Amino acid sequence: MNIALDTDIGSDIDDTMALLLCLRLPELSVKAVTTVYGQVGIRAKIAKKLLDLAGVDIPVAVGESTPISSPMRIWHAGIEGQGILDEDEMRAPPSACGVLPDAVDLLARTARECEQDLDVVAIGPLTNLARAIQRDPEFRSNVRCIWAMIGGVTYPDRPPDRAFAPGEAFIARASHNVRCDVGAARIILESGIPVVMVGNDVTTRCRIDLPGIDKIKQHGGDVDQAVVRMMRTWLQYRSELFGRPVTWTCLHDALVVAEAY
């Protein structure tokens, strides 16, 4: 199965887990990795470093940093690159790390080369894919399916575990990757490309905790050790954010890879 992975790797750890899963499944042939949203250069350097540590040669390209339209400001955790990039790598331009400059071009070219046998696993905002549709008229027909980390509903206040009564209402928010680029999500969902949505009402049920992290560490490879460092950085960030120890996290994006597989 040929896939391109489009990702906002480097903030939440789940993108890193998704990339690691792609590398662990021999049935998946990863043809390209593209980064999207905000600090796309750092995100691309993170992806390239992980692939280098795994000893695989997969093209990585910098994608769109700015959404087509969104009601929210661009969000960063502020830990992007920690645990994986050293100071020189953080400062270096992406090109110095072997990263390509145009994710939209890489996506369109990869789709053409795969001759209608490419699935895109989209685990960030959908900006790159929307721009590929706008730039290349053949992109729609060249992509077999998009597997996307979108959908599901988030309630600021937990609704009751029962059917809603007539006239009863609860405020809900769209999933993160849709909110981050509503315009791109609209373009994708109206494109005619088959889209499988993996929603956060499902992915929040799948977690990894400290014993699970230790199992990754036991693999002993360089990429595994890097993933463990990034995981611990993420859990430390969450612990400081919530003012209490956080010892687990959800595997949102990895579930999209699993569903595509």
What's the domain range around 193? 2-260
Q: If 0-12 CB within 10 Å is exposed, 13-18 middle and 19+ buried, where does residue 32 land?
A: buried
Number of domains in the chain: 1
Which helix (H) or strand (E) is 211 found in, with range? helix 210-217
CATH number at residue 18: 3.90.245.10
Closest CA to 177 of 38, 19, 51, 31: 38
DSSP state of 159: P
Say what the pLDDT of residue 173 is.
72
**CB-CB contact of 238 with 5 (8 Å):** no
Average pLDDT of the chain to the nearest whole number: 94
pLDDT tens across the length of the chain (261 residues): 999 999 999 999 999 999 999 999 999 999 999 999 999 999 999 999 999 999 999 999 999 999 999 988 998 999 999 999 999 999 999 999 999 999 999 999 999 999 999 999 999 999 999 999 999 999 999 999 999 999 876 666 666 677 777 877 766 677 899 999 999 999 999 999 999 999 988 898 899 999 999 999 898 899 999 999 999 999 999 999 999 999 999 999 999 999 999
Say what the pLDDT of residue 158 is.
67
Say what the pLDDT of residue 171 is.
64
pTM beyond 0.85: the answer is: yes
